[in-house]
A = this chain, B = another copy of it.
Amino acid sequence: MPLIVVGSVAYDGVETPHGKVDRMLGGAATYISLAASYFAPVKIVAIVGEDFAQQDIDLLASRNIGLEGLERVPGKTFFWAGVYSADMNDRTTLATDLNVFAGFDPKLPASYRSAPYLLLGNIQPALQKSVRAQMSAVKFSGGDTMNYWIADYRAELLETIGEWDFLLINDGEARMLSGENNLRRAAAKIMEMGPGTLVIKRGEYGAVLFRRECHFIAPGYLLEDVFDPTGAGDAFAGGFMGYLAGRGIDPAAKGVDFAELRRAVIYGSVMGSFCCEKFGVDRFRTLTRAEIDARYAEFQACTAF
């Protein structure tokens, strides 16, 4: 079933201990869409400038990502640059030029509005809310947020996520949003805010899926080479939501099969792990579904007991 992905499409400058790229395709919606495209039909909603290259459009199109909602306006595309620490667990932002992204006011094409799945990348909570309001038959919706909105737009954010079926954030953000250090307590408080399905990402350590009745702990896949962690969290989100949409699973429905949600988390981890293997989106240029399923099987072999 179709999945609508809303968020940034950008250019990134990235430096890691393994190299440096001054300008390459990036942005949350890009990583989410590429990862999800292996599992379900994806339609993107984003804004880019006149400088957005045809080859980048071609890459998205080659993965059958719907681009009717990719708005192109005068000006430059959102640009972000950052440098990673030696162990790649921290990064310093060097530049955030919002450019045309500053005026992003997502309007869903008519053909998008009846889609059942909606994944909102990290943008202003009020915009996330307005997108959801444009959907006529949404079954399972939710998304990501970040420390900035949690700290400075709390009321707006709570109103937005109060309508969501799921929230996907990292452990630091979960602690900040809930005011609880302990992850289980943090999760319980966040689920009281609305989302009945919560995924807390823990970087290289994996992720935990929380539901009111139970939780599922997924360790991170152990990569031998991490070249660039940029976009790994978004690729996780794309794999998770893409799997659910592709299988037509509605986690908000009564009697949903929890085993399918667990599989979605593992597919998320798998997509996040592939993302780190090359700079930027490069791994998605060659990645196949067969490789994804092989890594899923390997994941199982390395974690079952």
**Residue positions of A touching B, CB distance < 8 A:** 86-87, 181-185, 202, 205-206, 208, 214-226, 259, 262-263, 265-266, 300-305
Contact = CB atoms under 8 A, between A and B. Distances in A.
A83 B247 CA distance: 50
Contacts of A301: 214
B303 A303 contact: yes
B302 A214 contact: yes
The list of the 10 closest CB pairs from A to B, nearest first, reads A262-B305, A205-B205, A219-B219, A217-B219, A184-B224, A87-B181, A217-B302, A184-B222, A217-B303, A266-B305
Given A214-B302, A262-B305, A263-B305, 17 more contacts: A87-B181, A182-B224, A182-B225, A184-B222, A205-B206, A205-B219, A208-B222, A215-B302, A217-B302, A217-B303, A218-B219, A219-B219, A259-B305, A265-B305, A266-B305, A300-B305, A304-B304
Contacts of A219: 205-206, 217-219
For the complex formed by this chain, how many copies does it contain in all? 2
17 contacts: A86-B181, A182-B225, A182-B226, A183-B222, A184-B222, A184-B223, A205-B205, A206-B219, A208-B222, A214-B302, A215-B302, A216-B305, A217-B302, A218-B305, A263-B305, A266-B305, A300-B305
A84 to B, nearest CB: 12
A217 B222 contact: yes
Contacts of A262: 304-305
Nearest to A183: B222
A35 to B, nearest CB: 19
A185 B224 contact: yes
B216 A303 contact: yes
Contacts of A302: 214-217
Contacts of A266: 305
Contacts of A86: 181
Nearest to A221: B217
A301 B223 CA distance: 25
Contacts of A202: 205
Nearest to A265: B305
A305 B262 CA distance: 6
